[in-house]
Amino acid sequence: MPTRMLKPETAERLLNMLAGIAGIRRMMIHGPGLPKLVPYGPARGSPNPHSDRKAIRVADAEIALRVQVGMVILEVEDASAIEEIRSLCDAFFTKFPYQLQEGRFMKTAPTLVDYAKYGPDADTTLIGLADPRNGEGPVIIRMER
């Protein structure tokens, strides 16, 4: 978790570096939303021009950023990948600090929203990534390992 919001170019570099680590199972970016239209106030419904709403390329997949990148949540297969992630982050975040927290930050069992969106036989890599307010699904990047 960086102490600042990341620009799209910086987030793209970080995510591409993280995508090269073998022990990462899932990645999720989290932060404040970047709506296409102003959601409330006197300008409600008008276009919301924001310089951070861009498309980035991560591991040969085009991803349209719908949030400002404020936190990157990773699910790792085992604890051996954490030291590699820590050394990568130490080298990457030189101009401002970051925090690396260990714990369970993604859902591991299907929720009611997951059941409603994906059905009873949902892919386990999609568990906890469903947003009930968003019509679009998560971006899946399959890494060849």
Instruction: List the beta bridge partners of residue 47.
Output: 37
Look at residue 131 in the predicted model and tell me its pLDDT: 67
Amino acid, res. 116: A
Show the tokens assigned to 106.
């993604």
Query: DSSP 3-state assignment of 6?
Result: strand
Instruction: Centre a 10 Å sphere on the Cβ of residue 29 and count the other Cβ atoms it contains.
Output: 21
Query: Residue 105's pLDDT is what?
Result: 76
141: nearest Cα among 60, 55, 24: 60
Helices (H), the chain: 8-19, 80-92, 112-118
**Are 24 and 78 in contact, with CB atoms under 8 Å apart?**
no
b/e string for 70-95 if b means 16 or more Cβ within 10 A? bbbebbbeeeebeebbeeebeeebee
Map tokens 């954490």 to a residue. 82
pLDDT at 144: 57
pLDDT string in tens for the chain (145-residue length): 677 888 999 999 999 998 888 888 888 888 888 888 888 899 999 998 888 889 999 888 888 888 898 888 888 888 888 999 999 999 988 888 888 888 877 777 777 877 777 778 877 777 776 666 666 666 666 655 5
